[in-house]
Amino acid sequence: MDRVALRGLKGHGHHGVFPEERETGQTFVVDVVLGLDTRPAAADDDLTKTVHYGILAEEVVGVVEGEPVDLIETLAERIAAVCLKNEIVAEVEVCVHKPGAPITVPFDDVTVTINRSRA
């Protein structure tokens, strides 16, 4: 299985369980790693036989900036579903970073990472 990765996609979302998170929002960062067979695209040098990562990046950020959810686990699921809409993608790993999470002690980041596949 080959890999195509998009790392550090940023969007301003209003996700969280606290009212202030919903009101002001914050920056979320997303990494996606797609599992697919890139050989057909490489053999023919044909973009239509692989994932157009520019379009996918816009779709992922659209989810982040879209309908608010309480949990970043839910956000990760929605992003995985968008990635798997592309029939060539067999599996996806999604990592959602919430560096501005409302935590009362010093920290660098909060992440949720999920792996989803067609099977």
Question: What positions carry a catalytic annotation?
Answer: 98
Q: Residue 66: what residue type?
A: G
CA-CA distance, 27 to 37, in Å (whole number)?
A: 32
Structure tokens at 8: 């550090």
> 10 Å Cβ neighbour count for 111?
16
